[in-house]
């Protein structure tokens, strides 16, 4: 059974059918790419998957569980974590605290223990610190643990956003244009980071991307969207050599 | 972790140091009776500034009706103290009065939070302002008395309560509650301030506090990270209201005639507390305590200057704002005095930005 199974997903805004009959199946451990020209509906698909928009039709199943009309928070708890096209960090908080926010669903103590720093507080905070540091080390951010998130360079902000998403221990990671605004060096580093996430956490990843070098370099399978419809789906090599895709997206 | 603990200890240290200084001044007779009378108000304004900073600086929601919660805490606790004045001994009565004042303010904070926290920014500020005024005006119209038959209550007049001969009017409409026992003193005020600081500073460095600040920084990302945005907003707002209620208990047990007047509980008073919070540094708990103490004392100390008093006060407000917030001045301060010099040290203690710890 596929980890993520999307059937006949559709949504309209007014008269515009932004996503029309979208289908996808992602197997566990796959790195799946979602590409398409500007305005094709890629980010709308992400917003549907994470419950920001509710679909008009269709069904979304994560690991067999129907998550179609659940809220963003419930979907996160069910196991989908995401990053954003325009980085959304908790800017006035430290790097480690950003990660600890992501951990807070899995490391719990009561509000009273938190307010008085009694009971489980010390033990659980220690465990959180250790786990957060482990994550930061994986992403090479351990030296910046006390920096404000806003003060990190752009590439590291991206990494921190992925680290925060990973802290919620998701089953599926959604990356919305992770290479947007990056120079070739940073993109190269990002590709390494994504490969690292797959290796370290055995993570299933769905990513939206414009950078064809990145897509052809790391994605195993692709779905091409155009005007809200699936144009083509399959192995990366086949998709990228499909003449229809080349006309619609890559140009002549 | 260690740095945070140290920072918290510095805050408690400043409060305790100020307490000792004032106590010594009082014991050696260097404090005029006028100044002595200002000490308790100073503590409850510091407490409510901490409460409001939790709402404005940590949760990031601008509330300008916080005096309403103070008003609720003041009236509910004063009502209890007055009603049981001859029944209970002082210490347990005052403790229960605190529990009641805090509980009532927290309950209303929760209830008002349900509609209010659906709003954002300016709208939220306007609605909290309205609720603050509503609380004040509703309390103004209550008449409650007690006699051998029990409680009597109406919203017309004290005469209409129809009480027995032994009846005692406790809440007399706009005339408020008269003769609440004077149980609050400077020491109790400082203890309440320290407890509020303890709770708020600990909260900030806990799982829930991080979730609250995450909502402030980016609620879309907070939701996507699995943070229950509505729940944590309610939690922060309720705790903030509860602490404001504690300030109200101190208020009502330090005043002979408690009335729900605009002077104490109107929106001007709420704005004044907001000024303490803004000038002390939004999100900087220590700063709001210091700003509340200085800015409360200042107009009173300047009383000798008569008509120039408010002029000087407003100039000081402007100067404080510039020194505290202007990036150029902050850069100049660090260049001129360094981060380690005497001024730099004082500067860091007083002007410390929340960002460095959060």
* pLDDT of the residue at A58: 92
* pLDDT of the residue at B356: 40
* Chains A–B, number of C-beta pairs less than 8 Å apart: 104
Nearest to A93 among B1, B213, B239 (CB): B213
**Residue to test with chain B: of A77, A112, A115, most B Cβ within 10 A:** A115
Beta bridge mates, A32: A206, A221
Q: Across all residues in chain B, what is the average pLDDT?
A: 87
State whether B227 and A104 contact (CB < 8 Å): yes
Confidence of residue A249 (pLDDT cuts 50, 70, 90): low
Chain A residues within 8 A of B355 when measuring between CB atoms: 92, 148
Q: Calculate how close chain B gets to A240, using CA atoms only, in Å.
A: 32
Asked if pLDDT for residue B148 goes beyond 90, the answer is: no
* pLDDT of the residue at B261: 87
Give residue-wise pLDDT tens across range A122-172.
Answer: 999 999 999 999 999 999 999 998 999 999 999 899 999 999 999 999 999
pTM reported for the whole predicted model: 0.90
* pLDDT of the residue at A211: 79
When pLDDT is averaged across residues A3-7 and rounded to a whole number, the result is 93
**Residue to test with chain B: of A53, A91, A93, A176, most B Cβ within 10 A:** A93
Residue in chain A closest to B211 (alpha carbons) equals A101
State whether A92 and B227 contact (CB < 8 Å): no
When pLDDT is averaged across residues B182-200 and rounded to a whole number, the result is 94
DSSP E strands, A87-235 = 172-176, 204-208, 221-226, 229-235
Residue in chain A closest to B2 (alpha carbons) equals A146
State whether B206 and A84 contact (CB < 8 Å): no
Chain A residues within 8 A of B208 when measuring between CB atoms: 111, 114-115
Confidence of residue B129 (pLDDT cuts 50, 70, 90): very high
* pLDDT of the residue at B341: 41
CA distance B218 to B202: 22
* pLDDT of the residue at B201: 94
Q: What percent of chain A has pLDDT over 90?
A: 61
Chain A residues within 8 A of B222 when measuring between CB atoms: 90, 101
Confidence of residue A248 (pLDDT cuts 50, 70, 90): confident
Confidence of residue B29 (pLDDT cuts 50, 70, 90): confident
Asked if pLDDT for residue B63 goes beyond 70, the answer is: yes
Q: Across all residues in chain A, what is the average pLDDT?
A: 90
Confidence of residue B353 (pLDDT cuts 50, 70, 90): very low
* pLDDT of the residue at B1: 53
State whether B210 and A97 contact (CB < 8 Å): yes
**Residue to test with chain B: of A101, A132, A176, most B Cβ within 10 A:** A101
CB atoms within 10 A of CB B165: 6
Q: Calculate how close chain A gets to B191, using CA atoms only, in Å.
A: 15
**Residue to test with chain A: of B206, B229, B282, most A Cβ within 10 A:** B206
When pLDDT is averaged across residues B271-279 and rounded to a whole number, the result is 90
Asked if pLDDT for residue B42 goes beyond 90, the answer is: yes
Of the listed ranges A161-165, A233-237, A242-246, B161-165, the least confidently predicted one is B161-165
Chain B residues within 8 A of A97 when measuring between CB atoms: 210, 213, 358
Q: Calculate how close chain A gets to B10, using CA atoms only, in Å.
A: 18
Confidence of residue B301 (pLDDT cuts 50, 70, 90): confident
Give residue-wise pLDDT tens across range A169-186.
Answer: 999 999 999 988 888 888
Give residue-wise pLDDT tens across range B195-236.
Answer: 999 999 999 999 999 999 999 999 999 999 999 999 999 999
Residue in chain A closest to B204 (alpha carbons) equals A115
More confident of the two residues B300 and A134: A134
Instruction: Say if B60 is an interface residue toward chain A (CB within 8 Å).
Output: no
CB atoms within 10 A of CB B88: 16
State whether A92 and B202 contact (CB < 8 Å): no
DSSP state of B308: G
When pLDDT is averaged across residues B226-252 and rounded to a whole number, the result is 95
Q: Is B195 helix (H, G, I), strand (E, B) or coil?
A: helix
Q: What ranges in B117-180 are assigned the alpha helix state H?
A: 121-140
Asked if pLDDT for residue B240 goes beyond 50, the answer is: yes
Which strand ranges, in their side-by-side order, compose the sheet holding A80-82?
A80-82, A172-176, A204-208, A31-35, A221-226, A229-235
State whether B210 and A105 contact (CB < 8 Å): no
* pLDDT of the residue at B344: 46
State whether B221 and A107 contact (CB < 8 Å): no
* pLDDT of the residue at B337: 62
**Residue to test with chain A: of B195, B198, B210, B282, most A Cβ within 10 A:** B210
CA distance A145 to A138: 13
Phi/psi of residue A5, nearest 5 degrees: -130, 115
* pLDDT of the residue at B268: 87
Residue in chain A closest to B206 (alpha carbons) equals A114
Phi/psi of residue B354, nearest 5 degrees: -60, -35
DSSP secondary structure letters along A96-114: HHHHHHHHTTTS---HHHH
H-helix or E-strand spanning residue B309: helix B309-325
DSSP E strands, chain B = 143-147, 150-154, 168-172, 177-178, 257-258
Of the listed ranges A86-100, A104-118, B93-107, B341-355, the least confidently predicted one is B341-355
Is the ipTM reported for this complex over the cut 0.85?
yes
Nearest to B358 among A72, A82, A94 (CB): A94
């Amino acid at each position: 059974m596929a980890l993520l199974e999307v059937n006949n997903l559709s949504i309209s805004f007014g008269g515009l059918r932004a996503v029309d009959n979208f289908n996808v199946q992602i197997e566990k451990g796959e790195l799946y790419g979602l590409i398409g020209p500007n305005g094709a509906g890629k980010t709308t698909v992400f917003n549907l998957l994470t419950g920001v928009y509710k679909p008009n039709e269709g069904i979304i199943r994560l690991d067999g569980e129907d998550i179609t009309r659940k809220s963003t928070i419930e979907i996160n708890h069910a196991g989908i974590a995401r990053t954003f096209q325009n980085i959304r960090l908790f800017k006035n908080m430290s790097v480690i605290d950003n990660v600890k926010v992501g951990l807070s669903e899995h490391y719990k103590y009561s509000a009273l223990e938190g307010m008085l720093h009694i009971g489980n507080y010390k033990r659980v905070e220690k465990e959180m610190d250790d786990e957060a540091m482990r994550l930061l080390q994986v992403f090479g951010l351990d030296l910046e643990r006390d920096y404000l998130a806003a003060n990190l360079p752009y590439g590291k902000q991206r990494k921190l956003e992925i680290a925060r998403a990973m802290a919620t221990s998701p089953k599926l990671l959604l990356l919305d244009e992770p290479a947007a605004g990056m120079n070739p060096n940073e993109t190269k580093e990002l590709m390494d980071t994504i490969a690292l996430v797959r290796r370290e956490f055995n993570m299933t990843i769905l990513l939206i991307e414009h950078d064809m070098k990145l897509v052809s370099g790391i994605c195993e399978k692709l779905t091409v969207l155009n005007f809200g419809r699936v144009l083509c789906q399959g192995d990366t090599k086949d998709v990228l050599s499909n003449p229809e895709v080349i006309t619609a997206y890559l140009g002549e | 972790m260690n740095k945070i603990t140290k920072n918290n200890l510095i805050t408690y240290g400043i409060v305790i140091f100020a307490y000792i200084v004032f106590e010594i001044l009082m014991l050696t007779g260097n404090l005029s009776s006028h100044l002595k009378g200002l000490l308790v108000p100073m503590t409850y304004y510091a407490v409510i500034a901490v409460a409001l900073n939790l709402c404005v600086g940590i949760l990031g929601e601008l509330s300008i009706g916080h005096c309403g919660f103070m008003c609720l805490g003041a009236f509910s606790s004063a009502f209890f103290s007055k009603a049981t004045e001859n029944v209970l001994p002082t210490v347990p009565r005052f403790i229960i009065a605190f529990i009641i004042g805090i509980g009532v303010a927290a309950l209303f904070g929760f209830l008002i939070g349900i509609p209010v926290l659906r709003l954002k920014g300016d709208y939220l500020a306007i609605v909290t302002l309205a609720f603050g005024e509503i609380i004040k005006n509703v309390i103004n119209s209550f008449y409650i008395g007690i006699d051998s038959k029990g409680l009597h209550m109406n919203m017309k007049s004290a005469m209409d309560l129809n009480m027995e001969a032994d009846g005692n009017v406790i809440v007399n409409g706009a005339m408020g509650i008269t003769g609440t026992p004077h149980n609050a003193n400077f020491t109790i005020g400082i203890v309440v301030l320290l407890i509020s600081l303890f709770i708020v500073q600990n909260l900030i460095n806990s799982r829930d506090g991080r979730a609250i600040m995450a909502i402030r920084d980016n609620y879309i990302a907070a939701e996507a990270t699995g943070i229950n945005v509505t729940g944590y907003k309610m939690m922060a707002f309720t705790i903030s209201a509860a602490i404001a209620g504690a300030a109200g208990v101190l208020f009502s047990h330090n005043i002979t005639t408690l009335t729900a007047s605009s002077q104490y509980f109107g929106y001007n008073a709420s704005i004044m507390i907001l000024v303490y919070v803004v000038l002390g540094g939004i999100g900087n708990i220590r700063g709001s305590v210091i700003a509340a103490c200085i800015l409360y004392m200042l107009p009173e100390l300047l009383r000798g200057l008569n008509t120039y008093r408010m002029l000087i006060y407003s100039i000081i407000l402007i100067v404080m704002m510039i020194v505290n917030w202007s990036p150029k001045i902050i850069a100049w301060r660090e260049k001129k005095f360094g981060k380690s010099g005497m001024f730099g040290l004082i500067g860091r203690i007083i002007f410390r930005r929340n960002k460095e710890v959060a």
